[in-house]
Amino acid sequence: MNFVEKIERLTKEFIQTWNDRDFEKLRSFLVPGVVIRSPFVLKILPQSDSDTIQGIDPVMNYFKSLSEHAPQVRFNPDLKEFHKVNRTMRIQGELIDSGKPFQAEYQINEYGKFVRIELTYPEGI
């Protein structure tokens, strides 16, 4: 298995961990200073002044809030596209419930931990 295949496998494991709502394991995928950017940050955390969250505890709070406010948000781990460009991965897939597309761009450090994740939903959720 080459490096790109390992990263793709790690990505699918992260997605499945989210789908299972295994927050303890999900936390283990993240670096302490992880940065998440999503259009749903402002909807789920209206006290936020940005669509970006930084830090493992705020990100985990967002993940838990998202799972409560939008329990249908689950990602199909069978990705439509997976690309590695330098240190950035780009994926396209679909939401399980609605079949609507999502896109993500993210970076993983040398230990297989997520450093930055940016999600977009071209058609909403």
> In a structure prediction context, what are the per-residue pLDDT tens digits for the chain, which is 125 residues long?
788 889 999 999 999 999 999 999 999 999 999 999 999 899 888 888 899 999 999 999 999 999 999 899 999 999 999 998 888 999 999 999 999 999 999 999 999 999 999 999 988 87
Identify which of 110, 109, 104 has the alpha carbon closest to the alpha carbon of residue 122.
104
CA nearest neighbour of 117 among 69, 62, 43, 72: 62
What's the pTM value of the predicted model, to 2 decimals? 0.92
Residues in Cβ contact with 30 at an 8 Å cutoff, skipping those fewer than 6 apart: 56, 59, 60, 113, 114
The 10 Å Cβ neighbour count of residue 15 is: 19
